[in-house]
Structure 1
Amino acid sequence: MLTIQRDMSPRNGSCVAEVSSVRSLSSDDVSGTKNNKKKSCWARATDPAHRRGRRIQLLQMLVLPFIPILALIVQTANTLHDILIYRQEVSDIETQVTIATDLGKVVTRMQLERSEVAFFIYTNGNTLRRSNLTQRFAITDQALHNMTMWPLVSVPRDETEAYDVVNKEAFQARLNDFRQKISSEESSITEVMAWYTSVNAAMLDHLTNQIKETDNSGVWRYLIAFKNLLRSIESLGIASVYGINYFGRGILMSENYVSYVRHETLGRDLLNGSLTYVPSLKAFYAELTRTMTDYGRIKSRREEILRNRKREPSVEDAIAYFDSMATYVDELRKLQRELRHMIREYVNSTLQDASNKEVAGIAIVVLVLVISPIIIVLVRNAVATIQMYAANLAQKARELKREKRKSDTLLFQMLPTSVAQQLKQTQQVPAEYYEAVTVYFSDIVGFTEIAAENTPLEVVTFLNSIYKLFDARIECYDVYKVETIGDSYMVASGLPVRNGKSDKHVSEIATMALDLLAASTVFQVPKRPGERLQIRSGAHTGPVVAGIVGTKMPRYCLFGDTVNTASRMESTGEALRIHISLEMKKALDAVGGFRIEHRGLVDVKGKGLMDTYWLECKDGGIARAAELDLPYFFEDVRPVFMRRLREEGTL
């Protein structure tokens, strides 16, 4: 409940004497006041009740489903990018292995050429059963010619230990020059082995370095096995050259023996490593060794060479060892071709899997791009429908709020604001005791005769005009209108908000009574020309109990002897005079500023003889009712229902 202080001065018939009145505001009024404050630009922009706010909300709702769609598109695009990189890596591996296979053919031809050249030197130029040197040189040259891509390899010079990086043509020329110098008398096995081994080592280094072992697929195991198998064949080929030396010369010198053991062991270890990385090759290798007729003799000859006991040189044994090792190396090359086939199948399978993933990713992107507009349209329609319902709901809420404000206003007119709020919250209001309250009663002198002389509508209009004026006047004071019954008008001060500590309720009722008495004289009695309205007033001060009575039409009622005494003061009073009790007189004396006349003892029903007084006036005067703008005030004092009937033509 809010108490508002007002200054009243006699201007244009308004109450301007310094008084105070109690104005009550409901919670809706307060919230409405807050809502009426100027909102910030951002608050208005985000308010769904405004058009701009609805657009922003719609944009937010459209962005919301678009975020996961965009995330899915980005994720799918990244997956496609990874798949493309993956395919490229696998394709590069396929290309690398293809190039390595072509280069491996040249290395193989160089290995065979090295073996036959070494055999030629060790056997002092004997004719080979497998092939002669001219045929072997032609096969090697054909392999070089078939090379589509030649790596820049380092080959040794003739005179020094330095190496040159040469192309295919230069390598072919260097190879032909070396071949011209080969003879059983002039060439040493060390020189031949050094040249061929260095060339093959350079090619194998280039070959193995070009094949990447780290990739996103599982092909690395096959690649490592492929590299190890190439180096194993090279090491076994070098060891076979020293084996031919052993059988052709009868013994291996210490340096050659160490070289044989190193290359033989390295070749076996690399072969076992290849079989370990690709276990499926073990069965294939076992089948190769089982079908080879000379495999047992190869093992026995290897053990004989490892013992390195001096024996008689034998060209036949050298030829037999050469043939068996050549056959064994050829079988290992079959293993190499099988491994190459496995790599090709694995790469093709991986590429096919990558292609399937790429197709699936593209299909997902296309599907998302197709569905996205549909989702956005559906979301937009759903949001538009929700906003339409929300707008209608907001409109209904505003209408409900207006109606609630009206009902609250009506309720606050019927009940005190604090009491009404408490009644709305708890649905019950306990009676309350007030120690000091001033109660005022008034009625119209001769109202029964006036009512008999006029029609009911005229009587209602007459009372409405009087009470409308009275209601307007009491707004200037800290009082509460309790009720009107017929021509009786009841007002109290000091409740429901207490103001009894300073006896303000007494001065408020006294001033109000004088004001209402002055204001009532402006009314003319209907059908009695020249006769003015006369009211009889009475007031009393004392304790009361106030509370809500009833549930259907609850009323705020006052109970106690104070109410009865005030009513008796009015009924025993006189026209155009204000009859007050001794208690009120003492309270006014304490306040000061009022003129009071002693009336004497009056026999009051139910009370006996009481010493009473007349309230005459207030020092300094009050705002006179005659100063009201009567033409404006009485423009239409008839009740609302009567005005409606008049507009409809019923009256």
Structure 2
Amino acid sequence: MRPTRVHAESSQVNMSSFSQASVRSRAELDDAVRKVLGGHRSRVVEICKGNPVTNSGKRIQMAKMLTLTIIPTVMLVVLSILDVVKVSARNQVGHNVQDMIRLSTDVGKFIHYIQRERGYTSLHISATASTGSEVLLRNSFRETNEALETLGRWPGETQTPMERFPTKENFLLYLEDHRDSLLTSPGSTTLYKEVKFYNNVIRTFITWLYKAIQFSQEGDNWRMMVAYQLLLTSKNDIGVERTLGSVYYLTGEFNQRDYLWYLRKKNVGNGNFEASKLFSPLVESYFKQDLDKQKEPNITQNIENMRVEISSSNGTILPSAEKSKWWFDNMTVYLDVLFDTQLMLADVILESLNHEFTEDIRNISLSIALLCAILIICPLIVISVRALVSDIQRYAFTLADQTKELTRERQRTESLLYQMIPKAVADQLKTNTEVEAESYEAVTIFFSDIVGFTSISSMCTPMEVVALLNTLYTCFDARLEIYDVYKVETIGDAYMVASGVPRKNGNKHAVEVATMALDLAHHVTHLEIPHSPNTPFRLRAGVHTGPVVAGVVGSKMPRYCLFGDTVNTASRMESTGMADRVQLSNNTYYCLKGIGGYSFERRGEIEVKGKGLITTYWLLNKDGFDNQLPCMPGCKKYTEAHKRRISEYVQPPCSYVGD
């Protein structure tokens, strides 16, 4: 009871001071936090973690958490901005393509009419004055000029300029000079010169179209754009075929060069037309749809028949102005159908671009809305994460402190348990392991009690008795920490200590107990009865060495007990002893004598209950004990205490007295 109280009070003091230290000692708390957070891990994990206890650790951890939150948010913002930029750029490209398509449609109309002018010019050169070709030629001039006037923008004014004709005025002046020369001096030119002149003009515009029109990289618009340009190129070659065929029927002959020229233009024109069908099925459907609306039936069949006739005539037939006109008119209708198909395809491309613009606007709106939402939510997320991290840090601090408190409580509980039961035995009991009794061949047991305790107790109140025993055993318990001994129990004023059990220590058990006995005998002379000043304690002690059996007894309040005759003999050594003396049994005496360094006094034979006559010895001193003894604070010199302890005996201490 008394030792338990002493340790409890001491533990309460330590707990209070330890609790204060736990708040102040960051190093200890850091260790606790590290344990709570999972201990040491890999370097990658350590980089992502932080110590939320120290101020620098808090800032670092907060920075890490905010960085982990801000980085994805910034990435979302960047992706949204890139998406907006991408869609805007695509939308701008679409608008440029749309403008080019509209301009190319007007340019296509102009090319269509200038191709027709090329045909009438060729007929005018090859025909006689009675055919009325000049009237047709002037009408074609007028239609070409009207188509030229409808051009809202000139190709030279675009981002892809036309270097040959930078302005409309340059081109019109160039064209009017050629027309005047043709009308005033028709004999100064030839068919080849005229076709070459107009082909160069048409090729300039077609080349500009190829450079100016941009292709969309998404969807099927690029296919329709390719089909549109192939159709435009096909019309130019078929227009040359129309001119050469009209001249052939009008003159009735082809030289080899003209024949090869005709075949090349026919094949290239038809090939480009077929290729445009492959790139866009709309070409064929629009072509057939517009062809069915024409008044003249079987136009394509008539043209194919005349193509076969031209190809198989060996370059010579009878001249026929009617056939020439019939061929020219059919080919003109055919080219008009191709032109209408080209216009319808352009309308489809523009409609598709408008649909893409609508989608782009919707995507831009969604991207901007997402960007705005991110910009609004981002501060909220940062604030929330910051608050969450702060809560986690406070929780970690509280958890670490509570963990330390729990650890201290567990350590205190284990300390109290280990004072009642040996640690090895207590660990087995905690794991619900059955503790079996163990036999020890040599153990030294110490018994002591207070001389006159019964009379002292009769003159004291119960509280004073408790204070008395507490004073004595607090001193004893503190001294036991120095030696390899185990305190078995205290019953009233009886104090039982053993060495060599539960941990075996070879032949050191007798030395540990003997030295401890001298230590206790020395320090007890410095103690006074609390309620009776100047009244010292007087201790009677006995020691015996022998075999014992040790084991745990009980389940509700288990006790570690020693059993055997050695315990009884040690108790008899104490009960038959004298005040301020340590009585040794014969066994202990011979153990210490064999080791050496101790001084004894033979007491002689005494009657021991149940044992008969037993020779015993007084333990007097240990060599150099006054210098080796680690006394408590305020302890008097050993020599003074020694004199006081043996002053009532006449015989002085000696090293050894024989049997």
Q: Could you say which TM-score interval applies, normalised by the shorter chain?
A: 0.7 to 0.9
The SS at the match of 2:546 is strand
Matched, 1:304 2:309: yes
Listed as ranges, the gaps of 5+ residues in structure 2 are 1-17, 35-45, 637-659
Aligned position for 1:114: 118
2:563 maps to amino acid: F
1:219 maps to amino acid: N
The SS at the match of 1:132 is helix
2:557 maps to amino acid: M
Aligned position for 2:227: 225
Aligned position for 2:537: 533
Q: Distance in 2 between matches of 1:212 and 1:626?
A: 103
Aligned position for 1:7: none
Are the aligned partners of 2:223 and 2:279 in contact in 1 as well (CA < 8 Å)? Answer: yes
Identity %: 37
Aligned position for 1:600: 604
* 1:451 positional shift: 1.9
Change (3 A) 1:532 1:104: closer
Are the aligned partners of 2:550 and 2:560 in contact in 1 as well (CA < 8 Å)? Answer: yes
* 1:499 positional shift: 1.9
* 1:588 positional shift: 0.7
Aligned position for 1:353: 359
Cα deviation, 1:107-166, whole Å, max 9, x if unaligned, reads: 22221111001111121234547953233223323434444223499xxxxxxxxxx934
Are the aligned partners of 1:151 and 1:206 in contact in 2 as well (CA < 8 Å)? Answer: no
2:114 maps to amino acid: M
1:180 maps to amino acid: D
* 1:51 positional shift: 4.5
Map of 1:109-508 to 2, 5 A cutoff?
Answer: 109-128=113-132, 131-147=135-151, 148-151=153-156, 165-168=164-167, 169-182=169-182, 183-213=185-215, 215-292=217-294, 293=296, 295=299, 296-308=301-313, 310-425=316-431, 428-500=434-506, 503-508=507-512
The SS at the match of 1:252 is coil
2:560 maps to amino acid: Y
Q: Distance in 2 between matches of 1:360 and 1:571?
A: 100
* 1:220 positional shift: 0.7
Aligned position for 2:43: none
The SS at the match of 2:129 is coil
Q: Distance in 2 between matches of 1:392 and 1:628?
A: 39
The SS at the match of 2:290 is helix
* 1:625 positional shift: 11
* 1:208 positional shift: 2.0
Change (3 A) 1:484 1:367: same
2:85 maps to amino acid: H
1:568 maps to amino acid: R
Are the aligned partners of 1:49 and 1:394 in contact in 2 as well (CA < 8 Å)? Answer: no
Q: Distance in 2 between matches of 1:625 and 1:144?
A: 123
Q: Distance in 2 between matches of 1:579 and 1:202?
A: 134
* 1:566 positional shift: 0.9
2:145 maps to amino acid: D
* 1:531 positional shift: 6.2
* 1:481 positional shift: 1.8
Are the aligned partners of 1:152 and 1:166 in contact in 2 as well (CA < 8 Å)? Answer: no
* 1:525 positional shift: 6.3
Change (3 A) 1:52 1:423: farther
1:554 maps to amino acid: P
Change (3 A) 1:139 1:504: same
Q: Distance in 1 between matches of 2:65 and 2:237?
A: 72
2:568 to 564, 569, 572: 564
* 1:560 positional shift: 2.2
Are the aligned partners of 1:114 and 1:196 in contact in 2 as well (CA < 8 Å)? Answer: yes
Are the aligned partners of 1:523 and 1:532 in contact in 2 as well (CA < 8 Å)? Answer: yes
Are the aligned partners of 2:124 and 2:134 in contact in 1 as well (CA < 8 Å)? Answer: no
Are the aligned partners of 2:249 and 2:319 in contact in 1 as well (CA < 8 Å)? Answer: yes
1:80 to 58, 79, 84: 84
Q: Distance in 1 between matches of 2:258 and 2:237?
A: 14
Are the aligned partners of 2:29 and 2:53 in contact in 1 as well (CA < 8 Å)? Answer: no
The SS at the match of 2:626 is coil
Change (3 A) 1:337 1:248: same
* 1:236 positional shift: 0.8
1:622 to 626, 629, 644: 626
Are the aligned partners of 1:522 and 1:626 in contact in 2 as well (CA < 8 Å)? Answer: no
Q: TM-score, normalised by structure 1?
A: 0.82
1:258 maps to amino acid: L
Change (3 A) 1:528 1:47: closer
Q: Distance in 2 between matches of 1:208 and 1:526?
A: 118
Q: Distance in 2 between matches of 1:520 and 1:49?
A: 49
2:491 maps to amino acid: I
Cα deviation, 1:13-53, whole Å, max 9, x if unaligned, reads: xxxxxxxxxxxxxxxx9xx999649989999x932234543
2:304 maps to amino acid: K
Are the aligned partners of 1:522 and 1:625 in contact in 2 as well (CA < 8 Å)? Answer: no
2:283 maps to amino acid: L
Q: Distance in 2 between matches of 1:626 and 1:224?
A: 109
CA RMSD of aligned residues (A): 3.3
Change (3 A) 1:562 1:131: farther
Cα deviation, 1:157-186, whole Å, max 9, x if unaligned, reads: xxxxxxx93434343333233223325533
Are the aligned partners of 1:250 and 1:313 in contact in 2 as well (CA < 8 Å)? Answer: yes
- The total of aligned residue pairs comes to 589
Listed as ranges, the gaps of 5+ residues in structure 1 are 1-28, 154-163, 632-651
Change (3 A) 1:75 1:515: same
Are the aligned partners of 2:26 and 2:54 in contact in 1 as well (CA < 8 Å)? Answer: no
Higher relative contact order (CA 8 A, sep 6+): 1
1:586 to 585, 590, 595: 590
Are the aligned partners of 2:521 and 2:539 in contact in 1 as well (CA < 8 Å)? Answer: yes
Bigger mean CA offset, 361-370 vs 405-414: 405-414
1:361 maps to amino acid: S
The SS at the match of 1:185 is helix
Bigger mean CA offset, 460-469 vs 411-420: 411-420
Change (3 A) 1:56 1:411: same
2:521 maps to amino acid: L
Q: Distance in 2 between matches of 1:37 and 1:532?
A: 47
Matched, 1:613 2:617: yes
1:556 maps to amino acid: Y
The SS at the match of 1:165 is coil
* 1:252 positional shift: 1.4
The SS at the match of 1:574 is coil
Bigger mean CA offset, 434-443 vs 60-69: 60-69
Q: Distance in 1 between matches of 2:500 and 2:552?
A: 17
Q: TM-score, normalised by structure 2?
A: 0.81
Change (3 A) 1:204 1:73: same
1:300 maps to amino acid: N
The SS at the match of 2:254 is coil
Bigger mean CA offset, 341-350 vs 167-176: 167-176
1:544 to 548, 569, 585: 548
* 1:58 positional shift: 4.0
* 1:214 positional shift: 5.4
Q: Which is richer in helix?
A: 2
* 1:55 positional shift: 4.4
Change (3 A) 1:96 1:530: closer
1:98 to 92, 102, 124: 102
Q: Distance in 2 between matches of 1:601 and 1:356?
A: 117
Q: Distance in 2 between matches of 1:433 and 1:533?
A: 36
Q: Distance in 2 between matches of 1:528 and 1:151?
A: 127
